[in-house]
Structure 1
Amino acid sequence: MPPPLPAADLAAALAPFGTSRMLPGAAYTSPEVLAWERRHLFAAAWTCLGRRDDLLAHGTTQRGVTAGDVGVLLTAAGQRLRGFANVCRHRGHELLPDGGTATRGAIVCPYHGWSYRLDGALAAAPRMPTDLDASDHGLVEVPVEVWQGWVFVNATGTAPPLPAYLGGLAGLVEPYHPASLVHGARHTYEIAANWKVVVENYHECYHCPLIHPELCKVSPPNSGDNWNLPGAWVGGAMDLREHAETMSLSGACAGRFIDGAPRGTVRYLGLLPNLLISAHPDYVMTHRLEPVAPGRTRIECDWYFPDGVTDPAYAVEFWDITNREDWAACESVQRGLSSPHFRPGPLAPGEDAVYQWVTLVARMYLDPAVALRQATENPPSTKIVWPVM
């Protein structure tokens, strides 16, 4: 499996922090790179599909989804959630279209009527020879896990186990109990920028004084620090100003605080490849990313609150304004990346989380299995002394 970009082109991104540069422009603009990412990065990682309650709700027993470019069929029998390749073992027809659902107790291929139990076992193959070995023609299972209410799939089956993949992120999210929170709102955006541009923007506040006046009123843009802990993720925390209880236009919490959640700080965590978790004292916000094209990304933004909060507008309004400010910046970056004059630039001292992200992606380009093993076994070594200028 050759990398999508020459190793020599990735060397500058993998240089030590303080001397490194961004990924090459083709990483953000090339259809070939995105095709590689879908097959070898998204499918090889633990990709977030959304919330279990959304994916399999109201009696739904089956749903067709896509992880990278690999079709997956989710099935639910009682509380047991499983995943299978969305491929009939007869002639390869999809069992359900992407986003399609079914409520029946069997999986039936719409092409020739082969049917399977919800555990993937072949149940019937009409008009096939009687000596067909059903045990050799069950659906191909792929790893699916539920963590804190989110469903993750590793479509290639090659990633480390999800607990190791999450690493230190799990403990940072645990105090917010997201599995017990109630969904309050969702905004879906489709923006003209590469998915990695969105993630890089999320992981730094160097830009905040110039484009986020509302944010800077409630959170000092130079506050906080980033973590170096095992796992395939990047993240850090930012402080709230003394008068602010949360991220809202006034700084006030108009709902109620999450029991046991830290006060005075917001945690910003990005799990490779497509889930951003922003944990506040009183709510959790997520961005789930789906690449549509090299220069286009669909973003599903959700807000979760403690039970009993009836009006989420105070949080949603603040972040919808902030999101749209970010999207405008990301779209401008994408236009610049498409210029023949773009050259990868250096990172600022405060962009260490961006460096962690860029190096994780670059290592995934070189060898996904090695990159994920390194990420889950060792904290990222990015906290080095910045060179004296």
Structure 2
Amino acid sequence: MASLTRTLPASWYCSSPLYQLERRSVFFKSWYLLGPLTRFGVVGEQVGYEIAQVALTACRMSEEPRDIKVYDENSGAELKSYITETGLLFSTISDEAPSFDDFFPDLKPLIGTVDFTKLPYRRSIKYEGSFNWKTMVDGYQECLHCQYTHPSFSVYYPPTFYTVYNHKNFSQHVADPNKADDGLFLYFFPNCTLNVYGGGMSSFRVCPTEKPGVTRMEFDYYHLESGDKFEEYFKFVRQVAMEDYELCEKAQENLEKGIYAEGILNPVKETGVAYYQQRVMHLVCAQHETETESESRARDDDGHINTAMTTQLVEPTIS
């Protein structure tokens, strides 16, 4: 019998040193969805973001829709960014990230099915929640809870045949494998999503704060229609989002109280969770090993630590 995949330990959802290690191993080395070109419709308007305590600004520089640059707000340096053929802007927050094609080698054919330049920008909202960033991603990456937590959503997308297809650094969610073109639901590792259905599109970023038990949620909404049609769509997707919000706060409370420590993931229904958690585990452990080796090399012959070389190292317990 093949071994079953275990979840990340609860301690990984509650540790500040562990989060600092995640910043260096995961967030500094990833790409982030900032939005379609319609989000940047005004020349010169600065659209601000903050991901893993890195503040960045995207700005359309001219009348050419694709002339968009992304800057680090603190240093003023231009960050690596990429606009897909169908009009989605992605960015990095660090030079440590690989190229876009290396990070998402098989993404383009999938997002090539939608012309994102046809979806007008309508609204953005943001707020904080009392849960770790991974708690929210756990919920998005499975749909075992959907029928009970999202009854209105399940009417349109019954979870009976719900399937997650995992690729390198992203996952595609399909409600019915026989209707793969019925909506586009994507998770971009580590913390972005894209949901296209019902004539509109929503995307959100799960932005960790310095407190492991607090996360800022950022939502952007797009729709072909304005007025009542958009408001109807907005009300529907906000209901689904708030149902997830409440579930995540309760889950985080159980994690912090020690009610839940570690468990087994369903090998059929939780493959999306297994994929992203194992990715986090691999990157964090590799970073921890690298930094531990660097610290060892930084010791002088008398066994003292060269503090100038090890100031940035944080060594959490990984268990």
Shared fold, TM over 0.5: yes
1:33 paired with 2:18, answer yes
Distance verdict in 2 for CA 1:66–1:33, change over 3 Å:
same
- Check conservation: 1:227, 1:235, Cα contact below 8 A: yes
- Following superposition, the deviation at residue 194 of structure 1 comes to 1.1
Distance 1:320 1:66 in 2: 22
* 1:300 counterpart SS class: strand
1:152 maps onto 2:93 in alignment: no
When residues 18 and 318 of structure 1 are mapped into structure 2, their CA distance, relative to the original with a 3 A threshold, is farther
> Any conservation in 2 of the 1:169–1:269 contact (CA below 8 Å)?
no
Tell me what 2:207 maps to.
Answer: 290
- Cα distance in 2 for partners of 1:64, 1:302 equals 13
**Fraction of identical pairs, as percent:** 23
Do the aligned partners of residues 192 and 169 (structure 1) sit closer, same or farther apart at CA in structure 2, a change above 3 Å counting?
A: same
In structure 2, the CA distance between the partners of 1:322 and 1:38, relative to structure 1 (3 Å rule), is same
**From 268, 280, 286, the counterpart of 1:361:** 280
- With a CA cutoff of 8 Å and minimum separation of 6, indicate the structure with the bigger relative contact order: 2
Q: CA deviation at 1:345?
A: 1.1
Bigger share in helix: 2
CA drift of 1:271 comes to 0.4
Find the aligned partners of 1:73 and 1:204 in 2 and give their Cα distance.
32
1:144 Cα deviation after fit: 1.9
For residues 142-196 of structure 1, what are the alpha-carbon distances to aligned partners after superposition, in whole Å with 9 as ceiling and x for unaligned? 3122335443322322323213322333322222212321123434342211111
1:237 aligns with 2:237: no
What TM-score results when the alignment is normalised by the length of structure 1? 0.63
- Segments of structure 2 that go 5 or more residues without pairing to the other structure are 288-319
Matched positions, count:
281
Q: Is the 8 A contact 2:42 2:60 kept in 1?
A: no
Q: Give SS of 2:112's match.
A: helix
- Residue 23 of structure 1 is matched in structure 2 by 8
Tell me, in whole angstroms, the C-alpha distance in 2 between the residues paired with 1:289 and 1:194.
Answer: 9
**What are the residue-to-residue correspondences of 1:1-389 with 2, within 5 Å?**
19-50=4-35, 54=39, 57-60=42-45, 65-72=49-56, 77-78=61-62, 79=64, 80-86=67-73, 141-147=78-84, 148-229=86-167, 231-239=168-176, 262=181, 265-280=182-197, 282-292=199-209, 293-306=211-224, 311-348=229-266, 349-367=268-286
Deviation at 1:22, TM superposition (A): 0.9
- d(CA) in 2 for partners of 1:73, 1:317: 29
* Structure 1, unaligned runs of 5 or more: 1-15, 88-93, 96-139, 243-260, 369-389
Map of 1:117 onto structure 2 = none
Aligned counterparts of 1:302 and 1:221: Cα–Cα separation in 2: 25
TM-score, L = length of structure 2: 0.76
Contact 2:14–2:132, Cα closer than 8 Å, also in 1: yes
Quick one: structure 1 residues 222 and 167, their matched pair in 2 at CA, closer, same or farther if it must change by over 3 Å?
A: farther
Distance 1:64 1:40, change over 3 A: farther
Residue 201 of structure 1 and its aligned partner are, at CA, apart by 0.3
CA contact (8 A) 2:166 2:272 kept: no
Q: Given that residues 28 and 97 in structure 2 are in contact (C-alpha distance below 8 angstroms), is that contact kept between their aligned partners in structure 1?
A: no
- AA of the residue aligned to 1:266: G
User: Is the Cα–Cα contact under 8 Å of residues 28 and 337 in structure 1 kept in the other structure?
Assistant: yes
Q: State the partner residue of 1:103.
A: none
- Taking the aligned partners of 1:219 and 1:241, their CA distance within structure 2 comes to 12
SS of 2:280 mapped into structure 1: helix
Shift of 1:310: 6.2
**Conserved? CA contact 2:38–2:121, under 8 Å:** no
| Cα distance between partner residues in 1 of 2:270 and 2:100 | 27
In 2 relative to 1, CA 81–58 (structure 1 residues): closer, same or farther, beyond 3 Å?
Answer: closer
Question: Conserved in 1, the CA contact under 8 Å of 2:206 and 2:215?
Answer: yes
Name the amino acid aligned to 1:68: A
1:266 and 1:280 in contact (8 A); partners too? yes
Aligned CA distance change for structure 1 residues 53 and 280 (closer, same or farther; 3 Å): closer
Structure 1 residues 84 and 279: alpha-carbon distance in aligned structure 2, compared to 1, 3 A threshold: closer
Supply the distance in 2 between the matched residues of 1:220 and 1:18 (Cα, whole angstroms). Answer: 30
**Structure 2 residue matching 1:311: 3-state secondary structure:** helix
In structure 2, the CA distance between the partners of 1:306 and 1:336, relative to structure 1 (3 Å rule), is same
The corresponding residue for 2:297 is: none
Whether the 8 Å CA contact 2:203–2:219 is kept in 1: the answer is yes
* Structure 1 CA distance for aligned equivalents of residues 58 and 234 of structure 2: 30
Q: Secondary structure at the match of 2:21?
A: helix
| Equivalent pair of 1:173/1:279 in contact (CA under 8 Å) | no
SS of residue paired to 1:188 = strand
Whole-angstrom distance in 1 between the partners of 2:107 and 2:257 = 36
